[in-house]
Homo-oligomer: A and B are copies of this chain.
Amino acid sequence: MKSRGMPTIGQRNRLQYIILGLLNQHPQTGYDLAKAFENEIGEFWQAQHSQIYPMLKRLEAAGEISHEDTVTGEKLAKKKYTLTSAGREKLVTWVSQPSPELTPSKDEFILKLYFIKTANDPRIQPMLREQYQLHQSQLHHLQQRQETVFPNQKAIDQAYGHYLILDHAIERESHYVEWLAQYLEK
């Protein structure tokens, strides 16, 4: 049974939890959140501001976050959102829940490969080269970010989860590149 007029957010909607998690790190604006989806978690999830702002309103209506109005300069209005205790509880519950699902990777290149029948198809090598370039440069990008964000042990200790997922992403890209190289003709 669903109550009238009050739309609820589905259990499986992960965006809400990601926003709660980001706000738990420190209070920030919708704009800041949108940046985070381009940078540190862009490897793992993406969301546009047009999805973020409505979600902030829903979470606030649900009493899981609250905002404070601030002004930059003369009149640029910002809304800095903070977790409420209900929001923090919901976040903890989510993180503590098991994650028994394998999500499909949705890699378009891999899909295309699947539809190529023979090893001597002339399209294979150019495709491999393109992906090699792409993932090689992504690997470099991630490695550089690791150097700047985690220059010492202290930085790692202060954001251990962030360190872990960046390390994971680097390993993943690194092996992807190796896999491609294995099938690349010299």
CB distance from A148 to the nearest CB of B (A): 18
Residue of B nearest to A163 (CB): B119
Q: Is A186 an interface residue (CB 8 A)?
A: no
Q: Is the CB of B105 within 8 A of A103?
A: yes
Known: A94-B112, A104-B45, A106-B103. A175 touches B171 (CB 8 A): yes
Q: Does A50 contact B (CB under 8 A)?
A: no
**CB < 8 Å: which of B99, B121, B175, B179 contacts A112?**
B99
0 or 1 for each of A98-111: is its CB under 8 Å from B? (1 = yes)? 11111111111111
Q: Which of B42, B108, B171, B175 is in CB contact (< 8 Å) with A104?
A: B42
| CB <8 Å contact, A95 and B112 | yes
Asked whether B115 lies within 8 Å of A107 as measured between CB atoms, the reply is: no
| Cα of A100 to Cα of B118 in the assembled complex, Å | 23
Is A130 part of the binding interface, using a Cβ–Cβ cutoff of 8 Å? yes
Min CB distance A52 to B, Å, is 15
Given contact pairs A103-B107, A131-B99, A117 touches B44 in the complex (Cβ within 8 A): no
A185 CB to nearest chain B CB (Å): 14
| A117/B179 in contact, CB under 8 A | no
**What are the residues of chain B within 8 A of A158 when measuring CB–CB?**
117
Listed in ascending order, the chain A residues whose CB lies under 8 Å from chain B are 14, 17-18, 21, 24-25, 40-46, 91, 94-96, 98-119, 121, 123, 127, 130-131, 134-135, 138, 156-162, 164-165, 167-168, 171-172, 175-176, 179, 183
User: What are 10 of the A-B contact pairs (CB < 8 Å)?
Assistant: A18-B111, A21-B115, A24-B115, A40-B114, A103-B107, A114-B165, A117-B161, A118-B160, A119-B156, A119-B160
